[in-house]
Amino acid sequence: MPDALLDGLRGLVGPANVLTGIELGPYVIEGRTPDAAVFPRSVAEVVGVLALATEAELPVVPWGGGTAAAVGLPAARAGIVLGLSRMTRLVEHEPGDLTATVEAGVTVAGLQSALRARGQWLSLDPPDAERATVGGVVAADASGPRRHLYGTPRDLLIGVTVVTAEGAVVRGGGKVVKNVAGYDLPKLFIGSYGTLGVVVEATVKLRPLPDAERLVCASFDRLKDAGDAVRALMSSDLVPNAVELLDGAAAAALGAGAGLGAALVVGFDGLDEQVVWQCDELARLVTSLGGRDPRALPPEAWARLAPAARAAVGQPVAVMSFALLPTQVTETMEQGANAARARGFHTAWAAHASVGVVSAAIAPEPARPEPAPLAAVLAEWREMAHAGGGRATLEWAPLAVKAQVPVWDDPGAAGRIMQRIKREFDPRNVLNPGRFVAGI
């Protein structure tokens, strides 16, 4: 990186907010060290950083809490990490409007605690909320168990301010909960992994905090029976806020007990009487379908649900996530585990079962240190997903594995539209080049 550029960045944000050399440790992705990490404090400074980087044609990696930094392929060239961690203002919160506008660098946990003090919350529970930032959650389309009832960022983000690669400050959407004026730009930035612009501010819909909430767990000897219970639950009158299905390994990591075939974990919120009645109904429903010992889990268990598969495997060599038809969840979990076992791997599986979103972690069996190629298992998993009309993403794996197994599904003909959007938004290909689908 040219010294002049480094001087320019230091002049812009202050020398203390430009990291280089050994300080870059936390920003190394897959062994690739960026040239510098820069931490602007204002939108104007973000504009300045992008202008300098674009002029030098250096890749820019927008960085929130870094919780999804390893998703996708790292830039082939080292570049500048653009950290948003100093942009943490709660810009606006009018409780009567049930909306809040925040700078992108505020953590989800930080936002929730500010909102909680006023009886409200952002109905989104992504993993690692202490580190995950609002901007990062938007860029990575992160969500958690409560998405069953409350949806994902696309259901909650109503406005966004981004800085484009060319340094324009652009607002999309607005600050009101219903809005069809112009194209829905916020949707475009959700899940775009920093390839179209740097999210610097977000406006979100809020909800009042429920009076009560409870998480209930039931044990099953067989995954299939737990899956049947999910179906029965979905066609019942109950209104859960989370429907999670875990295989035995993930259930153990959650703390639901060892040696189970599977665990079904269901959340309810609302008025006290509603929560109590639903927990009773659920207990009846699961026990009629082979479930045992329906019991309340402590509130801390919520945060352990989404990462349960990964935690169960300890040192996974890969994590794959799936978007499936809900009816195919249990079959995919069973077949996927069998396919891995046949090749000498052990796995753990956890699903947002009602919406068909599944996460699987894989590691070699300790007894078989040199298993068949991991790539073969992952490819087989992906084929299984595709066969049922689903999708698979290699959420995490070492670079060597990513070299053999594509991270992203091929988006087909839609990929060409995506490439055109990328060219229109980032003509010099500065933002996270090569990280995303279709070579974007």
Partner 1 sequence: MAALAEFRKASLRRELESIVGASAVLTDPDELLAYESDGLTMLRALADFVVFPTSAEHVSAVVRLANREGVPFVARGAGTGLSGGCLPAEGGIVVSLMRMNRVLEVDYENQIAVVEPGLVNLHLSWAVGRRGYYYAPDPSSQQACTVGGNIANNSGGPHTLKYGVTTNHVLGLEVVMPDGEIVWLGGRTRASAGYDLVGVFVGSEGTFGVATKIVVRILKKPQAVKTVLAVFDEIDQASAAVSAIIARGLVPAAVEMIDQLTIQAVEDAFDCGYPRDAAAALLVELDGLTVGMEAQAERIVQACRDSGAREVRTARDEAERQLLWKGRKSAFGAYGRISPAYMVMDGVIPRTKLPYVLRRVNDIVAAHGLRVGNVFHAGDGNLHPNILYDPRRAGEEARVLAAGAAIMRLCAEVGGSISGEHGIGLEKADFMPFIFSPDDLALMQRLKNAFNSSGLCNPGKIFPTSKSCAEVGPAAYRPHAIEEKGLAQRF
Type of residue found at 19: L
Q: Which of 95, 299, 314, 398 binds partner 1 (CB under 8 A)?
A: 95
Position 231 contacts partner 1 (CB under 8 A): yes
- Torsion sign (Cα): 72, 75, 81, 84: negative
Inter-residue contact 44 to 88 (CB < 8 Å): no
Draw the binding track, 113-142, toward partner 1 (x: CB under 8 A; -: no contact).
Answer: ------x---------------------x-
What's the DSSP call for residue 74? P
Question: For the chain, what is the radius of gyration of the CA atoms?
Answer: 22
Residue of 48, 126, 390, 433 that binds partner 1 (CB under 8 A): 390
> Does the footprint of partner 1 cover residue 44 (CB under 8 A)?
no
Helix, strand, coil tally for the chain in percent (to 5): 40, 25, 35
**b/e burial code for range 383-405 (CB count within 10 A of at least 16 → b):** ebbeebebbbbbbbbeeebbeeb
**130 neighbors 64 (Cβ within 8 angstroms):** no
- Contact string (CB under 8 A) for partner 1, positions 160-189, x = contact: ----x---xxxxx-xxxxxxxxxxxx-xx-
Rounded to whole angstroms, the maximal C-alpha distance in the chain is 71
Q: Counting contacts by CB under 8 A, is residue 227 touching partner 1?
A: no
Shortest Å, Cβ 174 to partner 1:
5
Indicate whether 209 belongs to the interface with partner 1 (CB under 8 A): yes
- The residue to which tokens 């907010």 are assigned: 17
Q: Is 258 in the site for partner 1 (CB under 8 A)?
A: no
Q: How far is the CB of 328 from partner 1 (least distance, A)?
A: 9
Beta carbons within 8 Å of 149's beta carbon, 6+ residues apart: 123, 239, 240, 241, 242, 269
List binders of partner 1 among 270-309 (CB under 8 A).
270-271, 273-274, 277-278
Return the residues of window 347-376 that contact partner 1 according to CB under 8 A.
355-357
CA–CA gap between residue 212 and residue 258 (Å, rounded): 29
- If one asks whether residue 387 binds partner 1 (CB under 8 A), the answer comes out as no
Segment contacting partner 1 by CB under 8 A, of 20-28, 93-101, 259-267, 296-304: 93-101
Cβ distance to partner 1 smaller for residue 26 or 119 = 119
Q: Does 57 bind partner 1 (CB under 8 A)?
A: no
Q: Determine how many CB atoms are found less than 10 A away from the CB of residue 236.
A: 13
CB of 196 to partner 1, least distance (A): 8
Number of chain residues interacting with partner 1 (CB under 8 A): 84
Residues 413-432 that bind partner 1 (CB under 8 A): 413-415, 417-418, 420-421, 423-425
Nearer to partner 1, 368 or 416 (CB): 416
Q: Which residue has the tokens 């040192």?
A: 315
Strand ranges for 41-156 from DSSP E: 60-63, 80-83, 90-94, 99-103, 120-121
Helix (H, G, I), strand (E, B) or coil at 90: strand
Q: Considering the rule CB under 8 A, would residue 99 count as an interface residue with partner 1?
A: yes
Residue 224 lies near partner 1 (rule: CB under 8 A):
no
> Could you tell me the smallest distance in angstroms from the CB atom of residue 228 to partner 1?
11
Closest separation in Å from C-beta 321 to partner 1: 8
C-beta of 325 vs 399, nearer to partner 1: 325
Residue 255 touching partner 1 (CB under 8 A): no
Give the number of other CB atoms < 10 A from CB of residue 416.
11
For residue 364, the tally of other CB atoms under 10 A from its CB is 18
Instruction: Please tell me the distance from the alpha carbon of residue 425 to that of residue 429, in angstroms, as a whole number.
Output: 9
Q: Which is nearer to partner 1, 233 or 312 (CB)?
A: 233
Least distance from C-beta 272 to partner 1, angstroms?
Answer: 8
